[in-house]
Amino acid sequence: MASSARSVLLALSWYDHRVHRGVARYAERFGWYLDARMANSTEPVWGWQGDGVLCKIGCTAVDEELRNFVLSLNLPTVDLSVFGPPAGLPALEFNPMEIGRLAAEHFLQRGFAHFAWYPNLPGAPLAARRNGFQNCLAERGFPVHLLDPIPTEQVPQGWQDGELKLGRKLAKLPQPIGILAFNDDWAVQLLRACEAVGLQVPEQVAVLGIDNQSLVCEHLAVPLSSVRLDLEAWGEQAASMLHRFMEKESSWTEAQKEADMAWMSPSEVVARRSTDVIAVKHSAVSKAVAFISENFAEGLQVADVVRASGLSRSGLKEAFRRHLHRSIHEEIQRVQCLEMRRLLRTTDWTLDRVARACGLANVRHLHRLFGRFETMTPQEYRKLDQAATD
């Protein structure tokens, strides 16, 4: 416990309860007073007196009044956006290159050869995530279509006409196509646009969001896959940075001079129905993948998949390598691990029951397989996800 209580202001242009919880957890540990009057309101509390500030001075663009207010306090500050360093504030954000790579790999693992980004708008955060996605795919030789949004204020019937026009744009793109959206809200626009013109999701258009807002993603006609960002850890780590600056005046002075950008890694892609497809035209591979998806819980062997495909073992192995860039056995394991993650997130089943539901002989095999895909144990994964959705 700190020797004297510090007072910290939350001043956020964009609010998420998970960030707030992470900050609050750190504040409780060190005996801070946490002033949340500006956590979900950008109305300045002029004359505020305290010891430090955790802010987000912009999401897609700088909130100039908020930035000016924060700078006027002249207190140790950490910004949770990419706009901090230009304003002379150290900042912490999620690494857009890693987000883009996770998203690209998610689509590539499903055999996609056509890709798009939405929305094509100016702004540093959008450009950073878009570039991360584009750069990863460019390394594999794939271009990315950039989709402009339809401004609803410019169409007669507002959002309904906007979704219809966006849907018509989507229908002109090569299919099947995987589309990454800047966040879950933009991704939901894509899902509605597909519905407006009768495009099938994910068979024709697969949609991936960012943020993994479970209350949004899981309660749609087509549940939305999303890149999960650990927002609670984000808030806690930002609070830890601020603590270091508040400890010594010299630390904050040096931070102002350097105003560095620190990065956090995204957690994973949480796969749901909106990307649950294998976009491969090779009939035997498609048949084999469907067989794996339907029978993975039965303790499948490669020989079972080969028999179901109608190809020779060598022929199917080569086709998997050419079209999915992985082996038959790796595809079985990928599907088992996806189901393992889902059950850990959505049930309180014992690990033994989870293992059996995934076609694994015992918990030891579950731990071994999970360790190939994750850097944490199944128990840690379950606790992390429960904390993120509480």
Domain final position from 266, 292, 323: 266
Same domain, yes or no, for 323 and 345? yes
**Sheet bearing 268-270, strands edge to edge:** 145-146, 115-118, 177-181, 205-211, 225-228, 268-270
**Sheet bearing 91-94, strands edge to edge:** 33-38, 7-12, 52-56, 77-79, 91-94, 261-264
> Which amino acid would we find at residue 93?
E
Same domain, yes or no, for 86 and 112? no
pLDDT at 109: 87
CA 216/CA 88 separation, integer angstroms: 35
φ, ψ for residue 110, nearest 5 deg: -95, 10
Same domain, yes or no, for 35 and 56? yes
What CATH number corresponds to the domain at position 172? 3.40.50.2300
pLDDT at 280: 78
Kindly state whether residue 1 falls inside one of the protein's structural domains.
no
The whole-model pTM stands at 0.81
Same domain, yes or no, for 104 and 161? yes
pLDDT at 3: 45
The torsion of the CA quartet 130, 133, 134, 139, rounded to 10 degrees, works out to 160
pLDDT at 157: 62
Kindly state whether residue 303 falls inside one of the protein's structural domains.
yes
Same domain, yes or no, for 224 and 235? no
Q: Give the domain extent around 119.
A: 96-229+269-275
CA 335/CA 291 separation, integer angstroms: 11
Same domain, yes or no, for 56 and 151? no
Same domain, yes or no, for 331 and 295? yes
In the numeric block, which tokens belong to residue 298?
């039965």
pLDDT at 315: 92
- Residue 285 near residue 320, CB atoms below 8 Å: yes
- Residue 162 near residue 150, CB atoms below 8 Å: yes
Domain count, the chain: 3
Kindly state whether residue 201 falls inside one of the protein's structural domains.
yes
- Residue 14 near residue 41, CB atoms below 8 Å: no
pLDDT at 1: 39
Same domain, yes or no, for 116 and 218? yes
Q: Going residue by residue through the chain, which has 390 residues, state the pLDDT in tens, using 9 for 90 and above.
A: 344 689 999 999 999 999 999 999 999 999 999 999 999 998 999 989 999 999 999 998 999 999 999 999 999 999 999 999 999 999 999 999 999 999 999 999 888 999 999 999 999 999 999 999 999 999 999 999 999 998 756 555 667 888 899 999 999 999 999 999 999 999 999 999 999 999 999 999 999 999 999 899 999 999 999 999 999 999 999 999 999 999 887 778 787 777 789 999 998 899 999 998 887 778 888 889 889 988 999 989 999 999 999 889 999 999 998 888 889 999 999 889 989 988 998 899 999 999 999 999 999 999 999 998 888 899 988 877 665 555
Kindly state whether residue 354 falls inside one of the protein's structural domains.
yes
Same domain, yes or no, for 86 and 51? yes
DSSP secondary structure code for residue 273 in this structure? G
Kindly state whether residue 337 falls inside one of the protein's structural domains.
yes
Q: What is the sign of the dihedral through the CA atoms of 40, 43, 44 and 48?
A: negative
- Which residues lie across from 118 on neighbouring strands? 181
Same domain, yes or no, for 150 and 84? no
pLDDT at 269: 92
Kindly state whether residue 2 falls inside one of the protein's structural domains.
no
Same domain, yes or no, for 365 and 384? yes
- Count of Cβ atoms closer than 10 Å to residue 154 Cβ: 10
Same domain, yes or no, for 170 and 253? no
pLDDT at 8: 97
pLDDT at 2: 42
CA 365/CA 32 separation, integer angstroms: 44
